[in-house]
């Protein structure tokens, strides 16, 4: 971690994502707020030429960049940009191109290198196209897996964050047909541990409450609709409780959101991608943030994709990107506080597993009426 003086701003790196999507639009719209420069020093890893193209296309005249070659040259009262792509790069709004994929990768690689060296304090990744970025150096389903390998992290979790809920998933970008066979007690327990630690370290929640979903309808109805809930998920929850983690479930996903029981918990662990992300994006699409929990570094991203259909139309909302920036700053500060507390054993607060408060528990396999 970079050592700061009292007057240093937090340095936030931003990889520009797909140059033919809305990445630059949400970046520019976020950075046009002068208050951002009071909170952090932004450094865009991208292309001054591409940034100028989008500024002109969107008629954004109140944002300019300080062109730098390295983070050492960053100006702390202005937005900065480091060129990471070929000067001859061509922007084709709304199109998926090989050139755009290469530009996405080059910016991400350079930003990741600086993140690893401690030159930047956190990284915000603008949306990429997960197809056109594939190549010799990038063979991953997305940012999350790429960064996990870069930082030699085997245990990590995609955590979707908003003001109303935090949702993690056990399995991420795999086919639905492979979900059930990928679920193990160890895999579920690992995600519970990661989310619990992240809630403490990154969100300053002393005693987090985590709701764990079942896999099958009605969380299996005690084994009547599939065995995974009773034989795999429940044992993981029980083991987590023995470790002092306040994990409860498994709960049926549909009734859980319908009854707003999610408000009683600090985080939710879903078994697969759409089980958790559909309700999350329905409730928080414009303000949701994708956070990679478990990494030794801080990485956030807006909860949306490249949105090619909106590229160059001045219709994209910057709110999700703005929230990703705010969250990165908050997590950086929270980790500093957590590290200080960890250094002082007298300030630690240990949870007694025999005193876990389960007053928020709800019937996990309750049958819905009239269905």
Mean pLDDT, range 356-366, rounded to an integer: 48
Domain architecture of the chain: domains with CATH: 1-153+295-317 (3.40.718.10), 157-291+319-371 (3.40.718.10)
Tens digit of each residue's pLDDT (9 = 90 or more) over 83-135: 999 988 999 999 999 999 999 999 999 999 999 999 999 999 999 999 999 99
Mean pLDDT, range 163-182, rounded to an integer: 94
Q: Tell me which of 50 and 224 has the higher pLDDT.
A: 50
Q: Which residue has the tokens 């630059």?
A: 24
Segment among 7-11, 121-125, 156-160 with least mean pLDDT: 7-11
Please list the residues that pair with 40 across neighbouring strands. 10
In angstroms, the Cα distances linking 273 to 112, 153, 167, 277 are 25, 20, 10, 6
Whether 250 shows a pLDDT value over 90: the answer reads yes
Strands 40-46 and 122-125: unpaired
**Alpha-carbon span 103 to 46, nearest angstrom:** 8
Residues of 52-73 as b/e, b for ≥16 C-beta within 10 angstroms?
ebbbebbebeebebeebeebee
């Amino acid at each position: 971690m970079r050592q700061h003086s009292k007057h240093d701003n937090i340095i936030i790196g931003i990889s520009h994502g797909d140059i033919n999507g809305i990445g630059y639009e949400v970046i520019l719209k976020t950075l046009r707020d002068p208050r951002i420069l009071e909170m952090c020093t932004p450094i865009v890893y991208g292309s001054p030429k591409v940034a100028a193209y989008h500024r002109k296309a969107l008629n954004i005249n109140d944002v300019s960049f300080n062109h730098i070659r390295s983070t050492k040259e960053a100006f702390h009262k202005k937005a900065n940009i480091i060129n990471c792509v070929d000067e001859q790069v061509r922007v084709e709004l709304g199109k998926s191109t090989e050139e755009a994929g290469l530009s996405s990768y080059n910016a991400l690689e350079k930003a990741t290198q600086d993140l690893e060296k401690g030159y930047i304090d956190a990284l915000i990744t603008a949306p990429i196209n997960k197809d056109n970025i594939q190549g010799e150096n990038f063979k991953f389903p997305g940012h999350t897996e790429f960064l996990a390998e870069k930082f030699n992290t085997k245990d990590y979790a995609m955590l979707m964050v908003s003001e109303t809920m935090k949702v993690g998933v056990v399995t991420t970008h795999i086919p639905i047909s492979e979900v059930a066979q990928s679920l193990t007690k160890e895999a579920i327990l690992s995600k519970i541990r990661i989310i619990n630690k992240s809630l403490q370290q990154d969100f300053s929640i002393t005693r987090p409450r985590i709701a764990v979903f079942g896999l099958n309808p009605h969380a299996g109805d005690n084994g009547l609709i599939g065995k995974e809930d009773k034989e795999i998920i429940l044992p993981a929850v029980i083991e987590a409780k023995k470790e002092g983690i306040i994990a409860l479930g498994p709960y049926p996903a549909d009734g859980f959101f319908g009854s707003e029981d999610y408000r009683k918990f600090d985080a939710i662990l879903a078994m697969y991608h759409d089980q958790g992300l559909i309700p999350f994006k329905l409730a928080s699409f414009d303000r949701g943030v994708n956070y990679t929990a478990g990494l030794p570094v801080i990485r956030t991203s807006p909860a949306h994709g490249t949105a090619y259909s909106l590229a160059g139309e001045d219709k994209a909302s910057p709110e999700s990107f703005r929230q990703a920036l705010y969250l990165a700053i908050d997590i950086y500060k929270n980790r500093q506080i957590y590290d200080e507390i960890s250094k002082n054993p007298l300030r630690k607060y240990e949870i007694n597993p025999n005193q876990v408060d389960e007053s928020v528990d709800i019937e996990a396999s309750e049958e819905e009426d009239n269905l």
